[in-house]
A and B are shown apart, each in its own frame.
Chain A
């Protein structure tokens, strides 16, 4: 397995992978007596697509929740941009530039697509209550400026036509895309995707894969994703972490992982004596 080489390198398709952006060190998470994650360490490097895979109940989502601050691990450290992160609430994590999507869509159903995407800009909007109340001037300028970014994201993900539609009226596949738009609008340095392709048909999966690659390619956004579709994962990601029963059983490039005996056992099952 590759030692923590800090040099950047260039991938086959010409993207530059930088140094370590985030590092998980010996994370352990327990819920009462249930061990969700046991002593897991891995790193996410700048500009790469990092996949976390594993069978159901392996602790993948828990891992993502640790990164985004929903769970505080009992043991271990989270390092972000070379600094140890103190325990944080999720909104503080978001303000550090980490955005995410959810396994079951977590959009704001009562708002339009545009408003949903605009909520992704909230961290960049700083005018206070009084300027907002007056609106003319600072608040309006800020709103228009951020609208520009939101519209670019909408454009990028090809959802212009549903801009003013309430989210509750959209089909599942589009909702997933709007959720990605909301996360992207924040212009995060690390984007966490929790099963971005769950429940999609082949065509929608292809669209989503294309968007993920485009995001990574165009904005250089670092992406960590959880996915069940092996074909997709192996195609998209630069490096893969494999988890099973809360433990790390493999880490490396898709090819390395594919030939790892422990991984094959976890997925195909193994005869117990």
Chain B
């Protein structure tokens, strides 16, 4: 009854095209921001940060990135893991080469480096589509992981072949390394998530986003209205990889601290992020968050109920998780191809009419 736009008249195109046109949504958004920035940091502990919040935030950035490519521009990519690795290794090399530069900027530069690599591997998209493109990006995935494994320069010739993040601070507070308090890495990632979501929203609402969606929906018609497919596709690959690279840098630097590339950024990572995008909702920023939350929280929930609550063995719970995720993906593809975001939209539509649906 309170959720409706009646009486909320828009008198300018600016007001009409705002992100949350319904007042109730707008206040909800402010509330979430308030909670995320001013409540959560004071109440979380290490467990919550490491098992829920950090992976959720970081995967949300990766999912936003992949959603721009797959959901908005319609170019399938299975190279997300590889591009995250690029971000991670770029961040590592930058951290060790420029110890005095603030980590915040290094993460952004890592994203930019990944954008260049992503655009490079996006070149085949100009010739091939669909499954064939997916296979081409799969090549990127395997090549990049192989590269970081085999070329010692990337891991600074360390004996183990691993890379580990040295301690870096923001405003004197350590955000990477072993000596971090729970809230600092959380806030660091939150700022990136916040900025990424806003930038992604801005890019998808304007002319650039329309070019991507035009290419997605019908590339011939897109060309006839003046969209240069080369520029549109490559910019989608670059922007997508930029976000994925930032996610990779944070995943390595802030979340894990030390990684071995094949383990952290293997093909399963590519699929995980792709599933997030599919389950969350293709072509929706909110969907990227929903998908990331879903696939991060589900294992935690299952583990706590099955292992903690029912006392089942850990390996059984782990396998059950795979079964459930697999089944859910099939269910979503069949029943709701537009994912959680669409369910959310339908709910909102119903809510607007409630309690008088006719």
Contacts and interface: CB of A to CB of B under 8 A. Distances in A.
Contact of B224 (A68, A129, A140, A148): A68
Given A135-B206, A144-B13, A115 B225 contact: no
A157 interface: no
Nearest to B211: A122
Interface stretch (B96-104, B146-154, B215-223, B285-293): B215-223
A90 interface: yes
Q: From DSSP, what is the main secondary structure of chain A's interface residues? A: helix
Given A110-B213, A115-B213, A147 B13 contact: yes
A123 B14 contact: no
Contact of A186 (B17, B203, B226): B226
Interface stretch (B156-164, B227-235, B257-265, B272-280): B227-235
A102 interface: yes
Interface residues of B, number: 31
A106 B202 contact: no
Interface in A151-185: 151, 182-183
Contact of A139 (B202, B213, B214, B222): B202
A133 B199 contact: yes
Interface stretch (A28-36, A91-99, A204-212): A91-99
Interface residues on A, range: 35 or more
A111 B217 contact: yes
B341 interface: no
A21 to B, nearest CB: 19
A122 B202 contact: no
B202 A134 contact: yes
A125 interface: yes
B182 interface: no
Interface string A102-138: 1000111111000100111111010101001111000
A125 B216 CA distance: 19
Given A119-B210, A143-B17, A147-B17, A91 B218 contact: no
Contacts of A139: 202, 206-207
A60 interface: no
B239 interface: yes
Given A108-B217, A129-B203, A135-B202, A122 B210 contact: yes
B208 A91 contact: no
A247 interface: no
Nearest to A168: B217
Given A91-B223, A111-B213, A129 B208 contact: yes
A248 interface: no
7 tightest A-B CB contacts, nearest first: A94-B226, A108-B217, A106-B221, A135-B202, A125-B207, A123-B226, A90-B223
8 contacts: A89-B223, A94-B225, A106-B221, A110-B216, A119-B227, A123-B225, A125-B206, A135-B202
Given A91-B227, A121-B207, A142-B207, 17 more contacts: A68-B224, A91-B229, A102-B224, A106-B220, A108-B217, A110-B217, A111-B217, A119-B222, A122-B207, A122-B227, A123-B225, A129-B203, A133-B199, A134-B202, A135-B205, A143-B206, A147-B13
Interface of A: 68, 70, 89-91, 94-95, 99-100, 102, 106-111, 115, 118-123, 125, 127, 129, 132-135, 139-140, 142-144, 147-148, 151, 182-183, 186
